[in-house]
A and B are shown apart, each in its own frame.
Chain A
Amino acid sequence: MVVALEDILQRHPVWRGGASFSRAAVVPSGFSVLDGELPGGGWPTGGLTEILGLQQGIGELRLLLPALAALTTAGKRVIWLAPPHLPYAPALAAAGVDLARLAVVRAPGRRDSLWAAEQALRSGTCHALLAWFYNARYAELRRLAVAAEASCALVALFRPREAARESSPACLRIALEPVQGELAVRILKRRGAPAAAPLRVPLKSPLHALGRSPSSPPVSRDARARRSLGLPVHA
């Protein structure tokens, strides 16, 4: 039997260096800068996405928020597993997330959270899983990656910066860094050709809502006393 090489490449997801891989379904990230660099034009589904850098408050959730809003408004379920703080409902609702489609799962230990993640992925009813893992071994991540492959879910794992040195079965690994009030995203690993320079992602800043640019001069300390600036008073 003669099989053309082109057929095999069509049928099986053979990863070829140099060409970016675009077969699997993706969830658009909502940032054109990022979509342009991610294989297929969005966050991958059916594989692990590692977000390295556990520094909080630099926009790590705002990076995922447009995708989460799109998924939940389309009726897809999103699970947050073992978040380090309380996910704040008013902020999520204001960003367009349908809270009725969001569930938070608390898991006390590493083994419990790995178990819960696997259950969620295997159930087939979770379309995006955000999980915070401080320490996970390769074999455990491998197990999650297999579960993710069967689930077609967007799986974002938040892990510490140091994990970048270890090898990982994730199909996408990005590192986050704040640069002059903006978020720089470095793609450490993706399917296809390696990415070159870090990307500046224009996140929606909380200051935009107030009509100020992020670089506007800071509020003078006297303003606190005056109460004349800024937002309405709720009393």
Chain B
Amino acid sequence: MRLFGGLEHLLERLREGLDAMELTAQLAVAPAARAALWRARGNGARLEELPLAVTGFDDDAFFKNIGISTIGELLKLPRDGLARRCGPALLDDLDRALGTVPEAREYFMPPPRFAAKLELPAEVSHADGLLFAARRLLVQLEGLLAARHAGVRGFTLILLQSEASTVVEVRLASPAREAERLGQLLREKLATLSLSCPVEAIRLEAGDFSPLHARTAGMFGDALAEDEGWRRLAERLQARLGPDAVYGLATHPDHRPEYSWRRVEPGEWDPREFRHPGPRPLWLLQAPRPMREDDLQLLAGPERIECGWWDGDDARRDYFIARFSDSSLGWVYCEAGAWFLHGLFA
């Protein structure tokens, strides 16, 4: 109780949280969980004055017949008689409510998926309005994730329009749950969207929870914090420019130049796999460019690359280093008598 700064403060925080999720709740306090539940059902009245209906006992009709209507009256009845007439279960429940017998309650397990819908009070067609509404759902998601000590790797916002619906997918580089961060990514996504007709309701869905432990940022820029910063930068760039817009490079053991590198997730490269090739250009053209032979002066070569007959992309090329008339250096090859420019020694 001291951790939360007193009962009043704790209740205040609970109310704030519930208000942010737009839930109506009745709060009640009692020394035992069962009594608190009963009081909440009875709109916060004192335990003795609560009607028997809040307890959910089966013997309602019997108690009515003998003129018992509140818990206070029930407690005044002799215990042994009550036990004989109604069975020990009823007494046990009463004892648990009074706190004389401890109660083992099952912990609440929130569902492993999240889906919530919000009807918009008016039709919305601009990104700011959508973001404002979506924030409310993101706060709910954050609460659920915090309770499970989890984060999401992505979520989906579905914009329900009068006839169609638009799906906005947001992917994250690392699991997260802060509504602030999720909202920022959503803003980048929504900024690129053009809507054909106004949105009437939104629906937020998230699955794929992964464990996430709250971590505090290091005071002196540690490597972990920098990695986290980098992942956030990457996901922000991907949110606006597309998932393929950010990539890392890796070498791949193949002699054909166009197959000897790979697009990978940034950071996925194992230098032990790398074998030193001959001289290679720093720029590789997207596709080899056909060229005339008399434009160039060959400086070194040939390096024959004959490879790939097994996978249908057969290459039989003689590579040369060549100088062009504008004194730039290029990597050219000759295949079946035709000349191509494949790279530039930038």
- Nearest-neighbour CB distance to chain B for A70, whole angstroms, equals 16
Chain B residue nearest in CB terms to A97: B249
Q: A88-B280, A108-B241, A224-B334 are in contact. Are A102 and B346 (CB under 8 A)?
A: no
Residues of B within 8 A of A206 (CB): 279-281, 300, 321, 329, 345
> Residues 201-235 of chain A: 1 if any B CB is under 8 Å from the residue's CB, otherwise 0?
00001110110101010110101100101111111
**Is B262's CB within 8 Å of the partner chain A?**
yes
Chain A residue nearest in CB terms to B301: A230
The answer, among A126, A181, A218, A231, for a CB contact under 8 Å with B233, is A126
Residues of B within 8 A of A57 (CB): 281, 283, 324, 328-330, 344-346
> Residues 88-130 of chain A: 1 if any B CB is under 8 Å from the residue's CB, otherwise 0?
1111111100111111111110001001100110011110000
**Is A77's CB within 8 Å of the partner chain B?**
yes
Residues of A within 8 A of B305 (CB): 234
- Among B80-88, B195-203, B265-273, the one that faces the other chain is B265-273
The answer, among B237, B249, B271, B306, for a CB contact under 8 Å with A105, is B237
Chain B residue nearest in CB terms to A220: B298
Contact in complex: B298, A60 (CB < 8 Å) = no
The answer, among B247, B261, B345, for a CB contact under 8 Å with A103, is B247
Contact in complex: A224, B302 (CB < 8 Å) = yes
**Is A55's CB within 8 Å of the partner chain B?**
yes
Contact in complex: B261, A62 (CB < 8 Å) = no
Residues of A within 8 A of B246 (CB): 103-106
Cα distance, A89 to B323, chains bound together (Å): 22
- Nearest-neighbour CB distance to chain B for A8, whole angstroms, equals 31
- Among B68-76, B91-99, B224-232, the one that faces the other chain is B224-232
List residues 299-334 of chain B with CB under 8 A from any CB of chain A. 299-307, 318, 320-321, 323-324, 326-330, 334
Cα distance, A62 to B244, chains bound together (Å): 27
The answer, among B241, B283, B304, B306, for a CB contact under 8 Å with A87, is B283
**Is B158's CB within 8 Å of the partner chain A?**
no
Q: How many residues of A contact B (CB 8 A)?
A: 68
**Is A58's CB within 8 Å of the partner chain B?**
yes
Contact in complex: B249, A92 (CB < 8 Å) = yes
Residues of B within 8 A of A178 (CB): 326-328
The answer, among A89, A92, A180, A219, for a CB contact under 8 Å with B300, is A219
Residues of B within 8 A of A210 (CB): 278-279, 300
List residues 121-162 of chain A with CB under 8 A from any CB of chain B. 123-126
Residues of A within 8 A of B105 (CB): none
**Is A56's CB within 8 Å of the partner chain B?**
yes
- Nearest-neighbour CB distance to chain A for B90, whole angstroms, equals 63
Residues of B within 8 A of A98 (CB): 269, 271
Contact in complex: B281, A235 (CB < 8 Å) = no
Contact in complex: B343, A88 (CB < 8 Å) = yes
**Is A85's CB within 8 Å of the partner chain B?**
yes
**Is B112's CB within 8 Å of the partner chain A?**
no
Cα distance, A1 to B248, chains bound together (Å): 56
Contact in complex: B346, A86 (CB < 8 Å) = no
Cα distance, A91 to B298, chains bound together (Å): 20
Contact in complex: A99, B269 (CB < 8 Å) = yes
Q: A99-B251, A123-B230, A224-B318 are in contact. Are A112 and B282 (CB under 8 A)?
A: no
- Nearest-neighbour CB distance to chain B for A95, whole angstroms, equals 8
- Nearest-neighbour CB distance to chain B for A203, whole angstroms, equals 9
Cα distance, A112 to B238, chains bound together (Å): 12
- Nearest-neighbour CB distance to chain A for B146, whole angstroms, equals 26
**Is B101's CB within 8 Å of the partner chain A?**
no
The answer, among B245, B286, B303, B307, for a CB contact under 8 Å with A230, is B303
**Is A61's CB within 8 Å of the partner chain B?**
yes
- Nearest-neighbour CB distance to chain A for B294, whole angstroms, equals 11
The answer, among B269, B299, B344, for a CB contact under 8 Å with A218, is B299
Contact in complex: A107, B334 (CB < 8 Å) = no
The answer, among A59, A90, A94, for a CB contact under 8 Å with B346, is A59
- Nearest-neighbour CB distance to chain A for B272, whole angstroms, equals 11
**Is B28's CB within 8 Å of the partner chain A?**
no
The answer, among B237, B274, B343, for a CB contact under 8 Å with A93, is B274
Query: Which residues of B does A touch, CB under 8 Å?
Result: 223, 226, 229-230, 232-234, 236-237, 240-241, 244-252, 255, 257, 260-262, 266-269, 271, 274, 276-286, 297-307, 318, 320-321, 323-324, 326-330, 334, 343-346
Query: Which residues of A does B touch, CB under 8 Å?
Result: 55-62, 65, 75, 77, 83-95, 98-108, 112, 115-116, 119-120, 123-126, 178, 180-181, 205-207, 209-210, 212, 214, 216, 218-219, 221, 223-224, 227, 229-235
The 4 closest A-B pairs by CB, nearest first: A57-B328, A89-B261, A57-B344, A231-B303
A-B contacts, 30 of them at CB < 8 A, read A56-B328, A57-B283, A57-B330, A60-B346, A65-B282, A89-B261, A94-B276, A94-B280, A99-B248, A99-B251, A106-B244, A107-B245, A116-B240, A119-B236, A123-B232, A206-B321, A207-B299, A209-B278, A210-B300, A212-B299, A218-B299, A219-B320, A224-B298, A224-B334, A232-B303, A234-B255, A234-B304, A234-B307, A235-B304, A235-B306
Question: With A62-B282, A88-B283, A223-B302 given, can you name 13 additional A-B contacts, CB distance below 8 Å?
Answer: A56-B344, A57-B344, A89-B250, A90-B274, A105-B246, A115-B240, A120-B233, A125-B226, A180-B327, A206-B279, A216-B299, A230-B300, A234-B303
